[in-house]
Amino acid sequence: MTLVRSRPKRLLQTLDGHAALLKAQYLFSASHKLPGSKGKLREDGVVAFLKEFVSRRFDLASNVFAVTFKGNEYRRELDIVVHDSDVGGFWKLDTFGENSVCTFEGLRLVIEVKSTLNALTLADAQKKSAELSKFAARKKLSPPRYVLFAFTVAEAAGDWNGSDSVKEQALTGFGEMDAVICPDHFAYISPYHENFAFGFERGISATQAENDGSVQDEVTSRSIFQADPSRWTTVGSSPGSRLLALAAFASYAAGDEARVRGLLAASMNPKHHPIS
């Protein structure tokens, strides 16, 4: 009897290609001497990737300023945003769209991009995430989801142990962040999004996971037996599958349930066991 191995779905294979393109963008931009130009090119590469997977209803751009309906401007420029075009507006500040301004209340996701993840850049991202949440709280607004995306992880140096340091941080929590993703190494999802994380591994959305017997058994078991309740969940096992997690999380943060379900079904073989 000949066993036939199941091949990854076409879209998942394509995502491995997207991961290679992003890595190439990172390497090509290394020749730029100005840090700002280097960072902009890398951020634009992530934006170009997400535009392939997030609904056109949402605005995606890099280098964005945000202002509330009451005219309060958030002081920091945001690396990448996913913005709901039905809430307020989104406007370019120059001919080439190098900078934009949007309505804060329409922000659904902010992505902080780091070329290299190390102790300093991780701390900087945590600080920015906390500042954004505090600004929203002061204005009595809901903060957008916050993801840290890194192209690479620094090798061990001093108190920094590369990927192991990130893993240790994940066990104790990344502060205000919702996910930390470096396609070549890992994708960590916050414990606040367990249904998304456990559902993702089964090819189903967070909403489906809420009504899935096996997922809820795992959530319950984890809450009872997990020694550290703040432990983050690792998803994806390859650069392409971790990029899939980023794309799915972007639509999840935007509240686009149909897009998440469609994307996961096109990339994986969904395993859904409804409770009712």
Per-residue pLDDT tens digits for 16-69: 999 999 999 999 888 776 666 788 889 999 999 999 999 999 999 999 999 999
DSSP conformational letter for 192: G
Segments making up each domain of the chain, as ranges = 10-190+237-266
Per-residue pLDDT, 28:
87
Using DSSP, state whether 170 is helix, strand or coil: helix
Top pLDDT among 213 and 32 is at: 213
- Is residue 65 within 8 Å of residue 51, measured between CB atoms? no
Q: Average of pLDDT values for 240-252?
A: 98
Min mean pLDDT across 20-34, 156-170, 199-213, 256-270 is at 156-170
Using a 10 angstrom Cβ sphere, with 0-12 exposed, 13-18 middle and 19 or more buried, the burial of residue 67 is middle
pTM of the complete model: 0.92
**Parallel, antiparallel or unpaired: strands 58-67 and 100-103:** parallel
Tell me which amino acid residue 194 is: E
Question: Cα 264–178–41 angle (5° rounding)?
Answer: 80
Per-residue pLDDT, 216:
86
Per-residue pLDDT, 275:
83
Tell me which amino acid residue 99 is: N
**Token code pair at residue 62:** 């890099």
- Is residue 115 within 8 Å of residue 39, measured between CB atoms? yes
pLDDT at 125 exceeding the cut of 80: yes
Q: At what angle do helices 213-225 and 194-201 cross, to 10 degrees?
A: 130
